[in-house]
Structure 1
Amino acid sequence: MASSLSLAAYLAWARRGNAGVGAPFVPACERPAGAVIWGHATSLEHANALVQLVERLSAQRGNTPGVSGGGLHLLLTTGADVQLPAHARALTIHQPLEGDAAVTADAFLGHWRPDVCLWTGGDLRPALLTAADDAGVPLILVDAEASLLERSSWRWLPDVTRLLLGRFRTIMARSEPTARALRRMGVSEDRLTVTGLFQEGAIALPYDEALRDEMAVTLRGRPIWLAAMLHHAELDIVLAAHRQASRLSHRLILIVVPEDLSEAEAFRDTLRQGKWRHTIWSQGGMPNEATQVLLADTRGDMGLWYRLATISLMGSSLKPGMSGSDPNEPAAHGSAIVYGPNVGRYLPSYKRYAGAGGARIVRDADTLAAALAHLIAADRSATMAHAAWEVATAGAKVTDHIIDMLQDMLDDLEFG
């Protein structure tokens, strides 16, 4: 009785608007037709993983009409300190949530009517989760971490966490110690699995295998490095590093992919003025033994470039004010990752790769040239690329498990 009274006391407190009132609920947009998967992210890492998961799920389902005749959408809720992931696409709706007032929870659920909820990590919100469960929304706790499940302010309300955990149909623990803590809180074995970290992974981009083979023959074993998603303001740094590295490896070839194709002419001018022997991909040019730089000024070929290059500098990162580009792309294709210091939009991912030895930071032309000189040796770049691949695929089983579960749930909603 004391336990149920604890939660009842919290909910009464929230009903009076005391649980972090914040601003009144204002929906980000109208609810789209079709299935809405509600994902709550407690961190940018979780937000990235949720976006990628739902994009994969949407691709597998062909984004065909869902339970209400529309497509599939992710409703991504976060605290005010978590931003929308940089790579989120049109199927993601970002709805920041402040506080845990009951009136906000009721308005939120009444507007969005989510079909299922994936709650990540912790940051449990009693009023919102209780209202969602009462409304029949299936609740799944993903990447549960014991240290994130309770709040110091709940000390005067015993067993609130235990009662909230009872609302979840399935709980996926990050580790066995967390699973033990959850068992002590009353979570039954039939609702509990230890899955490991839920994190964003790498998805290989498509490319033309025949063209890759042709390019490999054309380049005849030349060492290849890639400067991907590069701004023109970074080009001088990259070319200076390439010139230094070419003194040690005279057959080294650089592939440059502009971030903004409207800057392509400026890239061409710089290459001409620097008297670089270069080939322009958009003009149908193929590199030859004399080519020093291939300007890949098109879209749709990134899978090819990552597959050819043993080293990938991820651009949009070398100058202040820039925010980086996605390191999961080269990791998926077996390319060692090099990056500049300005990667704020992808910082959690870069930390994971760098921590595992799969990525190396550079700051200027000299440090970039030093990285190239070190990684040109095939065994060194392969070791780094393998470390990146291990990180990129670490969360694949967790994501696959969740996708399979969601497929079954959405099929039941659609056809059941």
Structure 2
Amino acid sequence: MTLRAYRRAMSAASPLAGLWLKRRLRRGKEVEERLSERHGTPTLTRPDGPLVWLHGASVGELTAVFPLIQRLRERDVRVLVTSGTVTSAAVVKDRLPDDVLHQFIPLDAPRFVYRFLHHWRPDLGLFIESDLWPNLIVASAKGRIPLVLINGRMSEQSFKGWRSLRRTAKAILGKFDMCLAQSALDAERFSELGLPIVHVTGNLKLDVPAPPADEDKLAELQLAIADRQVFVAASTHPGEDEAIIEAHRRVRKTRPRLLTIIAPRHPHRGKDILSHAVAAGSRGMLRSYGVLPDDRTDIYVADTMGELGLLYRLAHIVFMGGSIVEHGGQNPIEAAKLGRPILHGPHIWNFADIYAALDAARGAEEIDNIGHMAMRISDLLKDAVTRKAVGDAGYRTVQRLGGALDRTVNELEPYLMQLRLSHQASNA
């Protein structure tokens, strides 16, 4: 009943889609020349032969499957990637080969979904993590497109929500042929909600190479920073920046040349963070203005996209955001892959298994409050040997936990083989 009500509501709301998209366009959340894709009307031609469709919500989900996309290309299948954010489209363009197609995911209204599926006719649909659109899933299954949920993740909050609508959950999740879950707990939750076949394959993010960095920009920043020590607060959320600025103020009493770089999860908050820094008596700069930190800079706000690989390479210590406030924590894997000591708050349920492994190996550490953060930053900055030991422990941990890519490809191989056989038969 809930699913039918949702489908009727989305059908009724579809005439208003244009107004909603125009408002998002004004806020920089859509690409004007590609708005038709959100209505299910393609801007690219479907290629001949087998087509595997991967869908992820945004940058984090998609970058996790970049190595998988390469494995698919090696098996002579074409790949269509869909996502819902402007930044994810830019990352696909910058970091994937030209033969990988990208489209914005259509709004989840039945007629938009139908247009999308009618044009692309994917032979296999791979949904990443937990971005589950009911109409898209139901229509794909009705069109006999095999569906697999890969890198499946189900947070405690989402699980409680789905469980309160158990029949609806089964009506949607039951359309998947199989789920490849990140952990045993995720697998248990998906099974309880009605997914018929669930295997634990691990987290694909652990098999992604360390994030890249522009060599010229890195050299430019290294020259500007010189011999100063750097504390990077990555992917911060509202409510965390003030704590980081205060911790910086305290540490500067004994480490006066400390440079703190704050990279907000949402770059548009850069000016607000700068205002907080100035109000606290710190001298700040915005990276989006094209300026580099100088000897007097206290807080450098990296309000840009796609530069965490650059910032991690500069860092002596990294704090992972989304963990002081109740957001669930941001992904620590990239910082660990670059051998950086990691600090985090208590709210880390989005990556609970990974943080638990890092903490147990002493490659990361939980901090309880501003005073604790300032103390640990100061201690680590004074002790290069301990800093390296912590960073090395984190690196070894994420390397040990890898292997999800091979396990995922092995589980998908029967589907890929069927695609190749079907294609050969159609050409015979």
Q: TM-score, normalised by structure 1?
A: 0.60
- The 5 A counterparts of 1:146-295 are 201=206, 203=208, 204-295=210-301
Corresponding residue for residue 175 of structure 2:
112
Shift of 1:240: 1.8
Shift of 1:69: 3.0
Q: Give CA deviations for 1:288-320 in whole Å, capped at 9, x if unaligned.
A: 22222211111111111112112111122224x
- From 332, 337, 344, the counterpart of 1:327: 332
Q: Residues 199 and 365 (structure 1 numbering): CA distance in 2 closer, same or farther, change over 3 Å?
A: same
- The 5 A counterparts of 1:4-403 are 35=52, 56-58=67-69, 60-61=71-72, 64=79, 68-69=121-122, 72-74=125-127, 75-76=148-149, 112=175, 114=177, 118=180, 121=184, 141-142=199-200, 201=206, 203=208, 204-319=210-325, 321-376=326-381, 377-397=383-403, 399-403=404-408
The residue identity in structure 2 corresponding to 1:57 is: L
Stretches of structure 2 lacking an aligned partner (at least 5 in a row)? 8-39, 41-45, 55-60, 82-119, 128-147, 422-428
Shift of 1:364: 1.8
Shift of 1:246: 1.7
Tell me, in whole angstroms, the C-alpha distance in 2 between the residues paired with 1:202 and 1:27. Answer: 40
Determine helix, strand or coil for the equivalent of 2:398.
Answer: helix
Q: Give CA deviations for 1:11-45 in whole Å, capped at 9, x if unaligned.
A: xxxxxxxxxxxx9998999xx996589xxxxxxxx
Tell me, in whole angstroms, the C-alpha distance in 2 between the residues paired with 1:214 and 1:365. Answer: 32
Shift of 1:247: 2.2
Stretches of structure 1 lacking an aligned partner (at least 5 in a row)? 1-22, 38-49, 86-93, 133-138, 144-196
The residue identity in structure 1 corresponding to 2:353 is: P
Asked whether the equivalents of residues 180 and 408 of structure 2 are also in contact (C-alpha less than 8 Å), the reply is: no
Shift of 1:256: 0.7
Determine helix, strand or coil for the equivalent of 1:256.
Answer: strand
Corresponding residue for residue 57 of structure 2:
none
Tell me, in whole angstroms, the C-alpha distance in 1 between the residues paired with 2:343 and 2:274. Answer: 24
Determine helix, strand or coil for the equivalent of 1:112.
Answer: coil
Q: Give CA deviations for 1:76-126 in whole Å, capped at 9, x if unaligned.
A: 4989985669xxxxxxxx987999x9xx99x779x7373x66477586979
Shift of 1:337: 0.8
Q: Residues 407 and 76 (structure 1 numbering): CA distance in 2 closer, same or farther, change over 3 Å?
A: closer
Q: Residues 404 and 27 (structure 1 numbering): CA distance in 2 closer, same or farther, change over 3 Å?
A: farther
Q: Give CA deviations for 1:332-373 in whole Å, capped at 9, x if unaligned.
A: 222111011222323232212111111111122210111101
Tell me, in whole angstroms, the C-alpha distance in 1 between the residues paired with 2:401 and 2:353. Answer: 14
Q: Residues 142 and 366 (structure 1 numbering): CA distance in 2 closer, same or farther, change over 3 Å?
A: closer
Corresponding residue for residue 140 of structure 2:
none
Asked whether the equivalents of residues 282 and 296 of structure 1 are also in contact (C-alpha less than 8 Å), the reply is: yes
Tell me, in whole angstroms, the C-alpha distance in 2 between the residues paired with 1:27 and 1:141. Answer: 32
Q: Residues 198 and 244 (structure 1 numbering): CA distance in 2 closer, same or farther, change over 3 Å?
A: closer
Tell me, in whole angstroms, the C-alpha distance in 2 between the residues paired with 1:80 and 1:403. Answer: 18
Tell me, in whole angstroms, the C-alpha distance in 1 between the residues paired with 2:410 and 2:6. Answer: 27
Q: Give CA deviations for 1:252-298 in whole Å, capped at 9, x if unaligned.
A: 11001123334322212222223322221000001122222211111
Asked whether the equivalents of residues 242 and 254 of structure 1 are also in contact (C-alpha less than 8 Å), the reply is: yes
Bigger share in helix = 2
Q: Give CA deviations for 1:43-90 in whole Å, capped at 9, x if unaligned.
A: xxxxxxx998756424643661599536641344989985669xxxxx
Q: TM-score, normalised by structure 2?
A: 0.58
Tell me, in whole angstroms, the C-alpha distance in 2 between the residues paired with 1:246 and 1:265. Answer: 23
Shift of 1:208: 0.5
Asked whether the equivalents of residues 225 and 254 of structure 1 are also in contact (C-alpha less than 8 Å), the reply is: yes
Corresponding residue for residue 181 of structure 1:
none
The residue identity in structure 1 corresponding to 2:368 is: R
Q: Residues 79 and 305 (structure 1 numbering): CA distance in 2 closer, same or farther, change over 3 Å?
A: closer
Asked whether the equivalents of residues 118 and 142 of structure 1 are also in contact (C-alpha less than 8 Å), the reply is: yes
CA RMSD of aligned residues (A): 4.5
